[in-house]
Amino acid sequence: MRAHHHRPQAQPEAPSPPNAAQLAGARTFAEFYPLYLAEHRLPLTRKLHFAGSTLALICLFFLIFTANPWWLLAAVICGYAFAWAAHFFVEHNRPATFKRPLFSFMGDWAMWWQMLTHRL
């Protein structure tokens, strides 16, 4: 019996990352989020963000149940360390946190939810 060899399907080309002016010009989160996703176009970047955000949630859980404020620091470190490592070493761009902090934070959780629910 002869084995079937499948050709890998061509991956759609990732959108090019936005420039700082585009990010700064987004007036609403709806305008910002597609630009945010373009800055997180590589799968490893998204996975590292997901891991960091998940660890941050776990730290917040421990904060609530232990009342130890060090868990809040751990949550912030986990969330940002994974995300920034992804930007600096995988995506090779500057995190959107520096350009639009609130929209970036919202984007992190929107992307996390879409990954959790397999919509991204």
Give the pLDDT confidence of 32-45 residue by residue, as tens digits.
999 999 999 999 99
Instruction: State the pTM of this model.
Output: 0.79
DSSP letter, residue 96: G
- Report H helices in 39-119: 43-66, 70-85, 101-116
- With a cut of 90, say whether residue 47 has pLDDT above it: yes
The DSSP letter of residue 98 is G
> Are the C-beta atoms of residues 80 and 111 closer than 8 Å to each other?
no
The string of DSSP codes covering 62-74 is HHHHH--THHHHH
Spell out the residues 6+ positions from residue 94 whose beta carbon is closer than 8 angstroms to its own: 87
Task: Give the tens place of pLDDT for each residue, 105-120.
Answer: 999 999 999 999 999 9
Average pLDDT of the residues of the chain: 86
Question: Residue 66 — pLDDT band, cuts 50, 70, 90?
Answer: very high
